[in-house]
Amino acid sequence: MRKLGIGLVIIVLSVIGLNNSSFAHCEIPCGIYGDSVRVALIAEHIGTIEKSMKQISELSVEKTVDYNQLVRWVSNKEEHAKKIQEIATQYFMFQRIKLTDDSAVKAKNQKLLAKLHELCVYAMKAKQTTDLVYIEKMRKVLHDFSHLYFGKGHKHKH
């Protein structure tokens, strides 16, 4: 009977766990997630936002506007901009850039945080507009961030 009770508790906890939302990272030092993969994901989200902006612009000038498709592209653009902000904050700012008393590391961290803040602001601007200038700004900031974050000699693609 006791085994049945423990088993039931495990099943109930498993079912409850399945209903919870999952985030990009669990905020424990599991070591599973790769930093270069997160940078690649941000680059992919930027590309998706760019395509969404172009589609929104094209659909908006059609003689008969397909509002259903238009709304879907706007939602898509905003969703991917939000994902950029989540990776920048939840993953890099909160977990990867550590608090330190080392002045050299602190100086580098301040530069990294400034780049991430800039990326988040441009992602916010991308939600508000279809101006492709924010795509180029996000790509430049991501490039600068990744080179600063990984340093010289690190081989990564973006």
Q: What is the mean pLDDT of residues 136-151?
A: 97
The domains of the chain are located at: 32-150
pLDDT at position 134 is: 98
pLDDT at position 20 is: 42
pLDDT band at 3 (very low <50, low <70, confident <90, very high): low
Q: What is the pTM of this model?
A: 0.79
**Cα(77)–Cα(130) distance, integer angstroms:** 9
What contacts 121, CB < 8 A, 6 or more positions away? none
Cα distances (angstroms) measured from residue 142 to each of 72, 80, 87, 94, 103: 26, 15, 12, 17, 24
pLDDT tens readout for residues 35-91: 999 999 999 999 999 999 999 999 999 999 999 999 999 999 999 999 999 999 999
Q: Which fold has domain 32-150?
A: Four Helix Bundle (Hemerythrin (Met), subunit A) (1.20.120)
pLDDT at position 19 is: 43
Q: Which two tokens stand for residue 41?
A: 């994901």
Return the closest-CA partner of residue 77 out of 15, 22, 127: 127
Whether the predicted pLDDT of 26 surpasses 70: no
Mean pLDDT of the chain: 85
Q: Which has more pLDDT, 143 or 3?
A: 143
Whether the predicted pLDDT of 9 surpasses 80: no
pLDDT tens readout for residues 84-126: 999 999 999 999 999 999 999 999 999 999 999 999 999 999 9
